[in-house]
Structure 1
Amino acid sequence: MLKRLASVGLIEQIPWRGVFLTPEGEKLAHESRERHQIVENFLLVLGVSPEIARRDAEGMEHHVSEETLAAFNQFTLKYGQQGE
């Protein structure tokens, strides 16, 4: 797995120091966290419990299109986030 990530430029392996994300890896990680947060917030606005929303978002974030993700985000912005 690490060799594959290194081969596509997402990580750098430094002997005796560890494994580090490259700038491209950091960008991908940020985008993944952002997708997860949009899906989780959408589920929370719908009234899904926080624990279930977190778990469901883990799977859903990888399977929704950019169009659907944008719609989730617009819905959340229009109808509020958890705690509002």
Structure 2
Amino acid sequence: MEFYTQKGYQLRNQQPITGAMEDYLEMICRQAKNEGYVRINFLAGLLNVRPSSASKMVYHLRDLELVEFEKYGLIRPTEEGARLGSYLLYRHDVLHRFFRLLNGAPEELEQVEQVEHFVSEETVRNLERLADWMERTGYEAPVRKGE
């Protein structure tokens, strides 16, 4: 077995989309589900970044053909962007549900945001099955957050 740094694993797996790009695409798709589109200033506000930073990232996503965007225009996911975004939203929801059940806490957003980029699809699907089992059996966290 060979060990790597986090950056080493990323380079080894050569993922075309970074964790930051995933965050943006996830938020674009979340908003597009409701409104059909999102604007740069609104996206920047949702992610607590400057509009100029959001614009740069959206241009990267456009270059990868994951979103459609023209300067000062509406941002919409492409078909491929919507497909990937749908998985990103699913992954986020599964992890959020699992951590809430595991820790007995109503909110686990920060932990989900920190972990979600490093979990394989196989692990997400297994965590979903585990969360289903936890709910069916009435699992209660042995130690609740803040106790």
TM-score bracket, shorter-length normalisation:
0.7 to 0.9
Task: State yes or no: 1:62 paired with 2:95.
Answer: no
Deviation (angstroms), 1:32: 0.7
User: Which string of whole-angstrom CA distances, capped at 9 and with x for unpartnered residues, describes residues 35-69 of structure 1?
Assistant: 01111111111134122x22211111111122221
The CA distance in 1 between the partners of 2:82 and 2:95, in whole Å, is 20
Partner of residue 129, structure 2: 74
Which 10-residue stretch deviates more, 7-16 or 32-41? Answer: 7-16
Question: Could you say if the C-alpha distance between residues 60 and 48 of structure 1 is closer, same or farther in structure 2, counting changes exceeding 3 Å?
Answer: farther
Q: Which runs of 5+ in 2 are unaligned?
A: 1-56, 140-147
Relative to the length of structure 1, the TM-score reads 0.78
Question: Could you say if the C-alpha distance between residues 15 and 3 of structure 1 is closer, same or farther in structure 2, counting changes exceeding 3 Å?
Answer: closer
Deviation (angstroms), 1:8: 1.1
Give the RMSD, CA atoms, in angstroms.
2.1
From 60, 63, 82, give the equivalent of 1:7. 63
User: Which string of whole-angstrom CA distances, capped at 9 and with x for unpartnered residues, describes residues 14-38 of structure 1?
Assistant: 4553222111111222111100111
Q: Secondary structure at the match of 2:117?
A: coil
The CA distance in 2 between the partners of 1:29 and 1:17, in whole Å, is 20
Q: State which structure, 1 or 2, has the greater radius of gyration over its C-alpha atoms.
A: 2
Q: Which runs of 5+ in 1 are unaligned?
A: none
Partner of residue 20, structure 1: 76
Question: Percent identical across equivalent pairs?
Answer: 27
Relative to the length of structure 2, the TM-score reads 0.48
Q: Secondary structure at the match of 1:19?
A: strand
4+ residue runs of structure 1 moved beyond 6 angstroms?
Answer: none
The CA distance in 1 between the partners of 2:78 and 2:105, in whole Å, is 35
